[in-house]
Structures are given as C-alpha cells and as structure tokens.
Amino acid sequence: MSEKSSRVPKRRRVVAKSSTKATQGRDRWILSYADFITLLFAFFVALYSLSLKNSDDEARLKETLQGVFDAVQKSIKPINIGEPIVGEPKDSEMVEVKPIPAAVPTIEENTSSAVYSLLSQVVENQFSGLHATGQISVTESADWVSLELKSGLLFGQGEYELTNEAVALLILVADILKAYPSVVLVEGNTDDLPVNSRRLVSNWHLSSLRSSSVVDELVYRGVNPTMIAPIGFSSEHPKVRNTNDYARQQNRRVILRISKRNADNLHDYLFQ
C-alpha cells in the first residue's frame, strides 16, 4: 500500500513537466506578434509625421523611427534558403526591360494632316466594317478635321449612355486627341421625331446630353478639358431631309470637329 502511494507524486511530476514544455511551445507566437506590433507602431508614427511642420519635431521623429527599426532588425533572424540555383542570373546579367512604346506616336508638329492620317488609320484598321457601312467616317475641310459617328453606334434608341462599342472607339480617339492639342467641338444631332421619354424634354435636351456623354468619356480618357466642349443642335442641322426612316438614321449622329487653328484653350479660340 505504501509503495503505490510513493509512485503517485512521481507520475504527477512527469505530467507537470510535459505541460510546461507544451506551454513554452505555445508561447513562441508572442515573439512574432511583438515584432508585428512594433512595425505597426512605426507605421502610425510615420503617418503622424505627415502633420509635423516643426524641424525639431521631425528630428525627434527620425530618432524614434531609427530606434524602432534598429530594435526590429535585432529581433529578426535571417532565414537560410540554401545555395543559389545553378544558372540563376547575377545582378550584372539582369535583362533590362524596356517600356512598351505608346500605341499613338507623339505629334511634334501640330499639323492637321497628322491627326487626319491617324484618325483615318484608326477607322480603316480597327473599324473597317463600320466604315464600310457608313457608321463612321473621317473628312477634312479647310478649317476642320471631322470624325462623324452615327448615333446607333454610340447609343441605344432614345438613350444618351454610351455603348461598350462607343467606349472602345473613344479610347482610341482620345489617344490621338491627347497627342494633338487643338480645339475639339462635339456636336450632337437628332432627327425630327419628338422624344418619347419622361427623362427628356426635347431633342435639344437629347442632342446636348449625347454630345456631353462623348465629351465626358474623352476627358476621362485624358483629353484636355479646356480644349473641348459639347454642342447640341437638336434636329436643326440635318444631313439630309427627314423624309423616311433611313434619312432620319443618317441625321442621328455625333460629329467631332477638330480645329486646324492653334489655340491655348477653347474660350480664347471662340471669343478672342
């Protein structure tokens, strides 16, 4: 009976020893957590530095950050990742990656022939089918280069939100207009049928909203907002007489007119 009693404490000591080892293993995460908290503290100190204007405060901040990062570096042990892989390039053998050239070259000389040529290339190469059916065309006069887009290509019936096809086209047009700093007037035209929508008051309203949608997209894509403006002509400037559905389809259009005359901004171009 006495022998059984003497074995009990020994068994308890073994259990206690195993429990201590398990506890020590579980507590190792505290070291990583402490490093994380230290770095987080340094991050918020850096944010606080943005509001400092006093040079003395900045000097003290630098000392504080230096001390924080020194402490972190001492607590971080390097990880052995083994020998370098055979054939791995050295620093001197790294391949230089050159930037991809822009799709549209910069136009150094502000010439109307350049923008006309670029627009024609976009229309013929990217939208040849639409060009063949008359949905899109590029023309040139003495004062303007004009890009005409049928409204059926840009908008749904009676709508003024751009279609996906319209956005894709205007992205390419914007690249050219950014390289060609000139005044751009965006004209909206409708047919003579009255609008049938509670959101729209008249064809004046519809034509203005459509031209504004085109301007918004071009400006969003990087065109200088001081060089572009929307105009709504309603049905007052038809291309052909509104005698049938086909004729009305020809009259529903948006025209981008790009001036050949240099100007610093649209306002000075129009009023000076």
pLDDT reading at 94 higher than 50:
no
pLDDT level of residue 205 (50, 70, 90 thresholds): very high
Cβ–Cβ under 8 Å, residues 211 and 186 = yes
| 112-271: CATH architecture | 2-Layer Sandwich (3.30)
Counting other chains too, the contacts that 63-70 makes at CB distance below 8 Å and 24 or more residues apart are: 68/38, 68/41, 68/42, 69/42
What pLDDT score was predicted for residue 120? 84
pLDDT reading at 95 higher than 50:
no
pLDDT tens digits along 222-265: 999 999 999 999 999 999 999 999 999 999 999 999 998 888 88
pLDDT tens digits along 128-141: 888 888 899 999 88
Between these two residues, 44 and 25, which has the higher pLDDT value? 44
Burial class of 41 by CB neighbour count within 10 A (0 to 12, 13 to 18, 19+): middle
What pLDDT score was predicted for residue 19? 54
**Alpha carbon distance 236, 240 (integer Å):** 11
* CA torsion through residues 56, 58, 64, 70, sign: negative
- The SS3 assignment for 137 reads strand
What pLDDT score was predicted for residue 182? 87
pLDDT tens digits along 104-132: 444 444 456 778 888 888 888 888 888 88
**Alpha carbon distance 217, 159 (integer Å):** 16
What are the boundaries of each domain within the chain?
2-75, 112-271
Instruction: List the beta strands (DSSP E) in the chain.
Output: 136-140, 144-150, 184-189, 228-232, 253-259
What pLDDT score was predicted for residue 219? 96
pLDDT level of residue 21 (50, 70, 90 thresholds): low
pLDDT tens digits along 167-194: 999 999 999 888 877 899 999 999 999 8
